[in-house]
Structure 1
Amino acid sequence: MLSRRGLMAAAGLWPIAQLRAAGAQPASPQAATLKIGLLPFGTVAWEAAVIKAEGIDAAEGLSLEGVRLAGSDAARIAFQGGQVDTIVSDLLWAARLRAEGRAVKFLPYSSTEGALMVAGDSPLRSVADLAGKRLGVAGGPLDKNWLLLRARAREQDGLDLEREARPVFGAPPLLMRKLEAGELDAGLLYWTFCARLEARGFRRLIGADGIAASFGVEGPIALLGYVFDEALLQRAPQTVAGFARASSRAKRALAAGEAAWAPVRPLMAAEDEATYATLKRAFLEGIPRRKASAERADAERLYAVLARLGGERLVGAATTLPEGLYWDGGPNG
């Protein structure tokens, strides 16, 4: 059973301010405030907790303020309405905004993605084995991992998953429970749910990275990133640069050892040590480490595939990644 504190943290109700370590210094009164959107169960709260607990924001001359939001749709609305300065969102959404005239920048956050999960003793060994099987898909018919899995199955196995499997779309927690209960044969789920299942003996049939590799992608792509307006970059370049450094420092602290995870552990709602370990490992594996040029080249390859598969409903009118989408660290983006 989770403690009351753990339940509050898991629900996004534990204020970041209360996670500040005793030795951390508060930001100066002159420090610029940067508002960041936080989602229930979202890993951005993990990074924000480290930034606050270790006083990294104060050291970078800013004050990070977490704004709790109900879900991804609420986060996007809050960002577009100016209630928050930045959120972590999908590369496709950021690209679509920029292509439609909203001058946004994308700062890679994580390359950790979901996977197709099956029970440890499942007879399924390959994507080709999904014919006729009950397949849960997190999100909807335009979920990027579902589109890519369908394309891979069609091109490599001659299998039309939409017609020859039995896909069911739904919320990840519900699909995870159905997979555990044996009501589904496989589940294409987001990474935090995959990690929890792995801790319970489930295994990956194929990961999102393996699916992407089928389309010529050469390395991990951060399909999740911080999105912020160019207007903020023009108005407060040092604040954005300080936040980018703070994010990087927090990730390095988490990769360096166990101590930095102390304020994060209550937010993870990890039922046991195995779940904690798998969540931690998956988060660390997703830390972006590639050069921006290599990252963008692979992202362009994958974007072209998704534009072909999902069309305008998925990516809007742009068939290629918009120029200037990635933030290069300079005051002009």
Structure 2
Amino acid sequence: MGISRRGFGGLGLALLATSLGFPAIGASDLPRIKVGVLKFGTVSWELNTIKHHGLDRKNSVEVEVLDFAGEDATNVAMLAGDLDVIVSDWLWVSRQRSEGETLTLAPYSTAVGALMVENDSALRQLPDLVGKKIGVAGGPLDKSWLLIQGLAQQDHQLDLAKEAEIVYGAPPLLAEKALSGELDAVLNFWHFCARLEAEGFRRLVGADDAARGLGASGPVSALGYVFREEWADQNQEVALNFIRASSEAKALLASSDPEWQRLAPLVRAEGRALEVLRDRYREGIPQRPVAEEEQDAAKLYEVLATLGGEKLVGKARRMAPGTYWAALKA
């Protein structure tokens, strides 16, 4: 997950126009925060809510949302200093810190993927997957996949990667293959799991279940708002005001069903699918003290470092201090 493994080409083509249907921001006396996101990612739902309701200006900041074509492009732009904030995971932040980049994060969402099977499937527990065809999104180093493998090894002495037929692929393709019956089970990102749930699938094992089974005491954010530590420390009130705007948007999305109806075109869902996406999003809103979550993330880091090795975490065997922004722990 280190940036050294990522391609730097085509960055100019990756950065697209200001997103979410809002006009370009005009002159403003408020501090501006440039946030880079995936064009069709779930983070855009929250940022749209912030902009639509003016929650950034209410909190004395001006959020400028920039769309990117892929995660690699947002990471490169962050490291190049072209953005103030992106969304990524604590594994990437820790690796960058270990390699000299002073990035840090604020928890964004605890929503994670799960192994999904059809409602009438005979599969009920991990040992039932022996000899079955499993689709896995995110590749062999996806942290949800590694955690589920770790749980299978710990509880059942089962090497899923060897004792099942694994098919890696893009999340939309694997969702389609699951719906067409080409897979016995599929591990996908949380929002694809929610859409499958609306189509008659159920969770077999979630990555959150695996995390608890491997030592976490509660939900751990899969993603966080990532920024440079020196920028946040020098502009602490600005950074905290952005986080306050995010929290207010989450509170609105947690309480208002009409807000989800407004977002339906952006979410690209309606009816039962929209309801499940809404409910799973709400379940993923972080609720724990940051210091507690950080402790659990550090435990899981060591598990993941053992399972994924240097390809996943680099040479550091423990999560880098400061991965979670210290100001939030105060």
The TM-score normalised by the length of structure 2 is: 0.90
Does the 8 Å contact 1:19/1:263 carry over to 2?
Answer: no
Does the 8 Å contact 1:135/1:188 carry over to 2?
Answer: yes
The offset of 1:250, in angstroms, is 0.7
Q: Distance in 1 between matches of 2:36 and 2:169?
A: 24
Q: Which residue of 2 aligns with 1:267?
A: 266
Q: Distance in 1 between matches of 2:83 and 2:167?
A: 34
Q: Distance in 1 between matches of 2:82 and 2:260?
A: 29
Structure 2: gaps (5+ residues)? 1-15
The offset of 1:18, in angstroms, is 3.0
Partner secondary structure for residue 192 of structure 1: helix
Instruction: State the identity as a percent.
Output: 45
Partner secondary structure for residue 22 of structure 2: helix
* Matching residue's letter, 1:15: S
Distance 1:316 1:114, change over 3 A: same
Q: Which residue of 2 aligns with 1:311?
A: 309
* Matching residue's letter, 1:156: D
The offset of 1:261, in angstroms, is 2.9
Q: Which residue of 2 aligns with 1:293?
A: 291
Q: Which residue of 1 aligns with 2:300?
A: 302
Does the 8 Å contact 2:229/2:325 carry over to 1?
Answer: no
Does the 8 Å contact 1:50/1:263 carry over to 2?
Answer: no
Distance 1:14 1:117, change over 3 A: farther
Q: Which residue of 2 aligns with 1:258?
A: 257
Structure 2 residue 22 is matched with structure 1 residue 18 = yes
Matches within 5 A, 1:116-155: 116-155=115-154
Q: Which residue of 2 aligns with 1:23?
A: none
Residue deviations 1:74-119 (CA, integer Å, cap 9, x gap): 1111211222211110110011111111011110000010000011
Partner secondary structure for residue 118 of structure 1: strand
Q: Which residue of 1 aligns with 2:218?
A: 219
The offset of 1:155, in angstroms, is 2.1
The offset of 1:13, in angstroms, is 7.7
Partner secondary structure for residue 128 of structure 2: helix
Partner secondary structure for residue 329 of structure 1: helix
* Matching residue's letter, 2:316: A
Q: Which residue of 2 aligns with 1:110?
A: 109
Q: Distance in 2 between matches of 1:27 and 1:319?
A: 46
Matches within 5 A, 1:86-105: 86-105=85-104
The offset of 1:326, in angstroms, is 1.1
Q: Which residue of 2 aligns with 1:174?
A: 173
* Correspondence for 2:281 among 271, 280, 283: 283
Structure 1 stretches of at least 4 aligned residues deviating more than 4 Å after TM superposition = none
Q: Distance in 2 between matches of 1:61 and 1:28?
A: 14
The offset of 1:17, in angstroms, is 5.3
Q: Distance in 1 between matches of 2:221 and 2:26?
A: 30
The offset of 1:258, in angstroms, is 2.2
Partner secondary structure for residue 264 of structure 1: helix
Structure 2 residue 206 is matched with structure 1 residue 207 = yes
The TM-score normalised by the length of structure 1 is: 0.89
Does the 8 Å contact 2:198/2:273 carry over to 1?
Answer: yes
Q: Which residue of 2 aligns with 1:52?
A: 51
Does the 8 Å contact 1:56/1:249 carry over to 2?
Answer: yes
* Matching residue's letter, 2:119: G
Q: Distance in 1 between matches of 2:275 and 2:159?
A: 36
Distance 1:217 1:19, change over 3 A: farther
Q: Which residue of 2 aligns with 1:328?
A: 326
* Matching residue's letter, 2:173: L
Cα RMSD for the two superposed structures: 2.1
The offset of 1:14, in angstroms, is 8.2
Does the 8 Å contact 1:49/1:263 carry over to 2?
Answer: no
Partner secondary structure for residue 181 of structure 2: coil
Residue deviations 1:38-80 (CA, integer Å, cap 9, x gap): 2133121111111111111111111111101011111111211
